[in-house]
Structure 1
Amino acid sequence: MHVCVLGAGIIGLSTAYELTQRGHQVTVIDRAAPAAGASGGNGAQLSYSYVQPLADPSIWAQLPKLLFSPSSALKIKPQWDTRQWVWVWQFLQACNTEQSPKTTAELLTLAAQSRQVFDAMRERENMHCDFSASGKLVLFRNEATFAAARQQMLLQKQLGGQAQLAVSASEACAIEPALAHQQNDFSGAIYTDSECAADCKQVCEALAQILTARGAALRWGQAFRQWVPKGDRLAAVQLDPGEEVSADAFVLCTGHTAPALAAPLGVRLPVYPLKGYSITVATDGTGLAPKVNITDSARKIVFARLGQRLRAAGMVELVGQDASVQSRRIQTLQQATQALFPDCSRYTDIQPWAGMRPATPTGLPIIGHQGGPRNLFINAGQGALGFTLAFGSAVQLADALG
């Protein structure tokens, strides 16, 4: 079968890879280069065991601070777009004690599958992507949030998640000595020794090379113009400046732009962009850089070691399609990184980035046929867990395709 995959981020390329593994002919189309969007500078953590969805009941108590605090990690800029308001309303509806555990269970299952597939692929392809398996510490700055985290940890254990430990501040500093000067500033942490990190952009670039070697057609720099339907199926996709690419099946993996591409076909996707930021700094040997992945739960910032670099990422902005890099947000990330790890870098070379993470209200991705033409399939909506869930999502999509 010839399958046309639209989108060359980690979701699209992992999907294309899985399809070639099953013997399908594949064409990948993207208006830009691989990982040019949300995959290019994401948080780099592979959070297989700590998958608490953003839509959580605790959001209700946090809303006043999240909405009105100048230092809040959340920013909402109202748009003349009903999709934004519908998404926010559906998200708040999902912040309940029934939906959150259900979402957690499904995400844990998908994450476990993704870990297995990604590990096997890396070994099979001898892939170099600054991968590490040094574990993860989620820091909590007060006892109330730490207690809630321990409850979430117990839930994830009951649902079959990897072993996690609730550790004191001093125990966390023993696990990661780079935190020693911060010991008095947090109450405790959740430690998962099996968590990993990798450079998502490097993974995407490696997948593109592998696909090329397998004979896949990779079409970069060609923008989508329109679908070419035929009866109850799609015959082709038309690109600028008018060229058509025909296929037996089409998989939409274009992240936050997927709803706009699916809408003309009568398919409604509850996916909205959650803008995030990151900085990458060189760990130049002048001081102490963390080896363990760190999540500062209060600041909503994650830190991941990538070889001789440190990636810091965070923020959630609902600002429509504005993908510009805001200097104030980058400054916040730099200040938070220097406060937590003052000696890990000279902080003279800071690489800023912003990306649009495609999220559903519940946090569950949309995978498979969702109506419309019989040969149209969707793989989108992984949100901030896109890298973590990519390879499991690819397997599920390939299964749905048959």
Structure 2
Amino acid sequence: MTSFPDSAPPTADYWSATTASARPRQVTVIGAGIVGLASAAALSRAGHQVTVIDRAAAAGQGASGGNGCQLSYGYVAPLAQPGLPFDVPGLMLSRHGPLHITPRADVRQWRWMWEFLRACSAPVAQRSTLELLALGALSRQETEQWIAGASAEALSFSRSGKLVLYATQSSFDAGRRQAELQAPHGPLQSALPGDGFLAHEPALASFRGAVAGSIYTPDECAIDGLALCRNTEEVLRSRGVVFEYGVTVHGLRREGARVSRLLSSAGDRPVDALVLAGGAGSAALAASAGLRVPVYPLKGYSITVPVRDPAAVPSVSVTDAKRKVVYARIGDRLRVAGFVEIGARDGAVDPRRIEQLQACTQEAFGGAVDIGAAVPWAGLRPATPTSLPIVGRSGGVENLFLNVGHGALGLTLAFGTARRLADAF
């Protein structure tokens, strides 16, 4: 298998990595999650004057603050997979399974689901995987150029690798086929039968005998997503980027082929160039300008747990493929995230989901973590049917740009899609 093309430490400073835009613009970015912040960084680097608007009171208050903290450049399998359509009836009936669908009287949901089911074919899944790998390689390069100027300790950044654990032989075989598909294009990966994962992470002893096999990716990383958002904002402010918090954007006023004004709780304002990077709310804003953006929110959950015994808690990032739960060390805490709910109305915390995450964590690591001090989170992750983000010019509206639909890969792909966005200006 080939080694990751961009795994070496970056040699260029982030701010000198690209040339300036030939036509600097006044750009408004809607969204102060990691995707919006990375967009602002790439646009500022290209010489544009950038203002970031968000309805929250600070950066990273949505999915960016509660995500799984894994930078999974090489584990990019799209959610839409062959065979999944046969599971749909059970996913509707199983209220608390790892993947759950709640049908709604919502045309947007049914249209998205139809496109999602059409994407559940081997050719589409393979194409999506290869495109995500290419985007992941770019994002790794851009992300590491960014964090090279920050404190790894302050960001809880680690380059400790990743293990994906498969409970059954059939799922392990599927994981191995995925690794073989990625081999010419992505990172170095190893298929480890049985308990072979223990050689890389002895702290997973509780999984001994319960795993048919695992896929190990030594170059994968982890980072505190909220800390990265705060660091990015701090650097951008020092470079003249303006931030406006507590501002809700209600809609866009379109005149001909352009968005002329932004309609918000802080009043209407003229627009030169506009970037929608506001997560799940971006589809509604695009619709107010007459555009359909195939993005739908997928709800996820996480807990953040203090670590009592660092030697007994993995430093390697871990994905339990059966339960769709991920574990990532961020300093003296363990982030545990999981579940996909299609059709959730909001980001309210379901206590039963949190109890499931706590039970998984307690079973895996026992007293090595302080489960009683777990901090719960739930939020909406904007996804496309194919899991491929939508990046660049909107098509039909000449000054409207998109950077949306990252799903569970927002932290991983943010700086890569931001680079593509800036290149599209």
1:227 is displaced (CA, Å) by 2.2
The equivalent residue for 1:98 is 123
The residue type equivalent to 1:270 in the other structure is P
* Equivalent residues of 1:272, 1:358 under 8 A apart: yes
Matched, 1:124 2:149: yes
Per-residue CA deviations over 1:206-259 (Å, capped at 9, x if unaligned) read: 111111111111000011133243442223313214242x34210000111111
Q: How many residues align?
A: 399
Structure 2 CA distance, aligned partners of 1:265 and 1:286? 51
Corresponding residue to 1:138 among 160, 164, 177: 164
Matched, 1:220 2:245: yes
The equivalent residue for 1:150 is 176
If the length of structure 2 is used for normalisation, what is the TM-score?
A: 0.91
Structure 1 CA distance, aligned partners of 2:358 and 2:68? 14
The residue type equivalent to 2:36 in the other structure is G
The equivalent residue for 2:110 is 85
* Equivalent residues of 1:360, 1:382 under 8 A apart: yes
The residue type equivalent to 2:101 in the other structure is I
Query: Once structures 1 and 2 are overlaid, which stretch shifts more, 280-289 or 113-122?
Result: 280-289
* Equivalent residues of 2:165, 2:320 under 8 A apart: yes
Structure 1 CA distance, aligned partners of 2:83 and 2:365? 29
The equivalent residue for 1:326 is 350
Per-residue CA deviations over 1:327-386 (Å, capped at 9, x if unaligned) read: 000000110111122232131211000010100001111011122421001110010111
1:80 is displaced (CA, Å) by 1.7
- C-alpha spacing 1:3/1:241, structure 2 compared with 1 (3 Å): closer
The residue type equivalent to 1:170 in the other structure is D
* Equivalent residues of 2:94, 2:100 under 8 A apart: no
1:3-402 matched pairs, under 5 angstroms: 3-32=27-56, 33-63=58-88, 65-69=90-94, 71-126=96-151, 128-158=154-184, 160-244=185-269, 246-285=270-309, 288-401=312-425
Query: Once structures 1 and 2 are overlaid, which stretch shifts more, 287-296 or 95-104?
Result: 287-296
* Equivalent residues of 2:391, 2:417 under 8 A apart: yes
The residue type equivalent to 1:271 in the other structure is V
Query: Once structures 1 and 2 are overlaid, which stretch shifts more, 376-385 or 316-325?
Result: 316-325
1:119 is displaced (CA, Å) by 0.4
2:336 aligned counterpart, secondary structure: strand
* Equivalent residues of 2:162, 2:218 under 8 A apart: yes
What runs of 5+ residues in structure 1 fail to find an aligned partner?
A: none
2:267 aligned counterpart, secondary structure: coil
Per-residue CA deviations over 1:85-119 (Å, capped at 9, x if unaligned) read: 11111111100011000000000000010000000
The residue type equivalent to 2:119 in the other structure is A
2:237 aligned counterpart, secondary structure: helix
Structure 1 CA distance, aligned partners of 2:62 and 2:391? 20
Q: Percent identity?
A: 47
2:51 aligned counterpart, secondary structure: strand
1:70 is displaced (CA, Å) by 5.2
Structure 2 CA distance, aligned partners of 1:14 and 1:25? 14
Structure 2 CA distance, aligned partners of 1:75 and 1:251? 31
1:171 is displaced (CA, Å) by 1.8
2:116 aligned counterpart, secondary structure: helix
**Moved beyond 6 Å, runs of 4+:** none
1:178 is displaced (CA, Å) by 1.1
2:63 aligned counterpart, secondary structure: coil
If the length of structure 1 is used for normalisation, what is the TM-score?
A: 0.96
Structure 2 CA distance, aligned partners of 1:365 and 1:298? 25
1:289 is displaced (CA, Å) by 0.8
1:23 is displaced (CA, Å) by 1.1
1:65 is displaced (CA, Å) by 4.6
Per-residue CA deviations over 1:153-182 (Å, capped at 9, x if unaligned) read: 100113x11110001232201211111132
Per-residue CA deviations over 1:108-133 (Å, capped at 9, x if unaligned) read: 00001000000011113446311111
The residue type equivalent to 2:246 in the other structure is G
- C-alpha spacing 1:286/1:394, structure 2 compared with 1 (3 Å): closer
* Equivalent residues of 2:308, 2:367 under 8 A apart: no
CA RMSD of aligned residues (A): 1.5
Query: Once structures 1 and 2 are overlaid, which stretch shifts more, 366-375 or 229-238?
Result: 229-238
Structure 2 CA distance, aligned partners of 1:149 and 1:61? 19
* Equivalent residues of 1:287, 1:345 under 8 A apart: no
1:305 aligned counterpart, secondary structure: strand
The residue type equivalent to 2:147 in the other structure is R
Structure 2 CA distance, aligned partners of 1:13 and 1:286? 32
* Equivalent residues of 1:286, 1:343 under 8 A apart: no
